[in-house]
A and B are shown apart, each in its own frame.
Chain A
Amino acid sequence: MRPLEPTTSKQRVAYGLAFFVLFVALWSWATFGGHVSKTFLANPLTMVQEGYELLAKQGFLFDIGMTIWRVIGGFVLAAVIAVPLGVLMGAYKPIEAFLEPFVSFARYLPASAFIPLLILWAGIGELQKLLVIFIGAVFQIILMVAVTVGATRRDLVEAAYTLGARDSGIIRRVLLPSAAPEIAEILRLVLGWAWTYVIVAELIGSSSGIGHMITDSQALLNTGQIIFGIIVIGLIGLSPISCSRRSTPGYSLGSLHDPASDRSGLANLPRPRRQRTDPRAGADNARCRRQ
């Protein structure tokens, strides 16, 4: 091993699988070996049995479907409102000055804190679940899209002006396509966060969904079912994430410092690194999303 030396794709898969094997081995050792009480942690075999039981007899597929629909519904609602607003904020500085302080404040309000209020307002039906996701996602998307659009290369905008572009043309044909790959990345990131909100929303006042099943199982001390539910969440979350990572090697997430975004004072947002990747990588990303 040497720093930054690449591995072959075969090795990558092998190493990745090896950790899962190690993890299950440790789990088996702890449970089958009697080192942890059955009440607190089910062994892997029981977990698989309980999972089969859930899927075959207790209609768990319906719960999974409900949870996915809530995430997608709330997320799409948030994206439809947040992306245009973020683009406007990024493009027009007065709009940014008008909205940015409030959105920055609202961003730090945890979506789960709204659950009691939302139950009061919207009952315990689907609307309440969707609103939790919506509140959790909308402010994050607005801010990150605004920063991305605001950091569009100035020389490209100037070049478009000298080619006779008007303001609407600048937004539609420079700012939007320039920010599109990163907006896709932002949506993917926030979709991951939406998954955590939906489970929290389902833990309280719900009659269906993965989170509801987990609270039910807690009452019955059925740790096998709880673990199975958590694993299902992980598996669903893994599919789009792994897909996009393959197609956009130039991107990495995290708190990478970007001096270009310091101007607006929003530099501490988790956002993709500004790096121009092949436009087709963006298309790949979109394809992943649809799967």
Chain B
Amino acid sequence: MLRIIAGLDRPTSGRVTLDGREVTGPGADRGMVFQSYTLFPWLTVRENIAFGLRERGVPEKKRHEIADAFIRRVGLSGFENHWPKQLSGGMQQRTAIARALANDPKILLLDEPFGALDNQTRALMQEMLLGIWERDQKTVLFVTHDIEEAIFLGSRVIVMSARPGRIKAEIAVDLPHPRSYKIKTTPEFVALKERLVEEIRTEALKVAEQA
């Protein structure tokens, strides 16, 4: 679904519209962060973040200013001139998020961006992303298998059914902002989690029966 919204795949039927305009191909108005590490290995952190800006013809000085601002936002100051292979997985994904944000997209599409990270790093990355969202209030569509991650980050959690992928349930998350990691142990959080676990478990069971 994310790939269709991003314009990388064509829908077999139906259409995708963003602010009333139909999506026909990939574009800079929909920033995407992939599950795999997709930084350009021949560019430094700063050049990676400025990739989209350069493609739009933003002058070099302005590019550097914008890139450096986003480097600070994702906490990578001091790594501007590092190569991607010198960074840890978490740092690479932070750069990828900064790269997508630097284009100032209308919507940010995140495809399990923290899936390959260890638990501790993942928790810190969630807090960082939440901090960015609380400041910008930019629409983020975040795909994840991690229920806790979905509740912690989301305002609405949409449960997709197993094949065929349909929208099965939509659950509003009314937890107040700003959220801190401590919220994960509150009774409200746990109640939401319990509900989602049930929804998803029935889907998982269906898949297991079909197999």
**What is the interface of chain A, defined by CB distance below 8 A to chain B?**
155-156, 158-166, 169, 173-174, 177-178, 180, 276, 278-279, 282
Q: How many A-B contacts at CB < 8 Å in the complex?
A: 70
A contact face: mostly helix, strand, loop, or mixed? helix
Please tell me if the beta carbons of B40 and A164 are within 8 angstroms of each other in the complex.
no
Please tell me if the beta carbons of A162 and B51 are within 8 angstroms of each other in the complex.
no
9 nearest A-B residue pairs (beta carbon): A164-B28, A163-B52, A161-B26, A159-B38, A162-B32, A177-B42, A279-B42, A155-B38, A165-B55
Please tell me if the beta carbons of A160 and B42 are within 8 angstroms of each other in the complex.
no
Q: Does B93 contact A (CB under 8 A)?
A: no
Give the shortest distance, in Å, between B52 (CB) and chain A (any CB): 4
Q: Tell me the bound Cα distance from A169 to B85 in angstroms.
A: 23
Q: Does B75 contact A (CB under 8 A)?
A: no
- New contact pairs (10) apart from A158-B34, A279-B42, CB-CB < 8 Å: A155-B34, A158-B26, A159-B34, A159-B96, A163-B55, A163-B103, A173-B54, A174-B40, A276-B85, A278-B83
Please tell me if the beta carbons of A164 and B42 are within 8 angstroms of each other in the complex.
no
In-complex Cβ contact of B42 among A161, A165, A180 (8 A): A180
A180 / chain B contacts, CB cutoff of 8 Å: 42
Closest to A280 in B: B83
Closest to B41 in A: A276
Q: Tell me the bound Cα distance from A165 to B51 in angstroms.
A: 9
Please tell me if the beta carbons of A162 and B26 are within 8 angstroms of each other in the complex.
yes
Please tell me if the beta carbons of B8 and A173 are within 8 angstroms of each other in the complex.
no
Mask of B33-76 contacts with A, CB within 8 angstroms, 1/0: 01010101111000000011011100000000000000000000
Please tell me if the beta carbons of A156 and B52 are within 8 angstroms of each other in the complex.
no
Q: Which of B1-33 contact A (CB under 8 A)?
A: 6-8, 25-28, 30-32
Please tell me if the beta carbons of A279 and B51 are within 8 angstroms of each other in the complex.
no
Please tell me if the beta carbons of B85 and A162 are within 8 angstroms of each other in the complex.
no
**What is the interface of chain B, defined by CB distance below 8 A to chain A?**
6-8, 25-28, 30-32, 34, 36, 38, 40-43, 51-52, 54-56, 83, 85, 96, 99-100, 103, 109
A165 / chain B contacts, CB cutoff of 8 Å: 51-52, 55
Q: Tell me the bound Cα distance from A282 to B43 in angstroms.
A: 13
What would be 15 A-B contacts, judged by CB atoms less than 8 Å apart?
Answer: A155-B36, A156-B38, A158-B34, A159-B32, A161-B25, A162-B8, A163-B103, A164-B28, A164-B103, A174-B40, A177-B43, A178-B40, A178-B41, A178-B42, A278-B83
In-complex Cβ contact of A160 among B25, B36, B51, B85 (8 A): B51
A166 / chain B contacts, CB cutoff of 8 Å: 55
Give the shortest distance, in Å, between A278 (CB) and chain B (any CB): 7
In-complex Cβ contact of B52 among A164, A177, A282 (8 A): A164
Closest to A172 in B: B55
Residue of A164, A174, A177 ringed by the most chain B CB atoms within 10 A: A164
B109 / chain A contacts, CB cutoff of 8 Å: 162
Q: Tell me the bound Cα distance from A279 to B48 in angstroms.
A: 14
Q: Tell me the bound Cα distance from A276 to B51 in angstroms.
A: 20
Give the shortest distance, in Å, between B5 (CB) and chain A (any CB): 10
Please tell me if the beta carbons of A164 and B38 are within 8 angstroms of each other in the complex.
no
Give the shortest distance, in Å, between B152 (CB) and chain A (any CB): 25
Give the shortest distance, in Å, between A247 (CB) and chain B (any CB): 16
Give the shortest distance, in Å, between A155 (CB) and chain B (any CB): 5
Q: A159-B34, A279-B42 are in contact. Are A173 and B51 (CB under 8 A)?
A: yes
Please tell me if the beta carbons of A169 and B55 are within 8 angstroms of each other in the complex.
yes
Please tell me if the beta carbons of A177 and B40 are within 8 angstroms of each other in the complex.
yes
A164 / chain B contacts, CB cutoff of 8 Å: 27-28, 52, 55-56, 103
Closest to A161 in B: B26
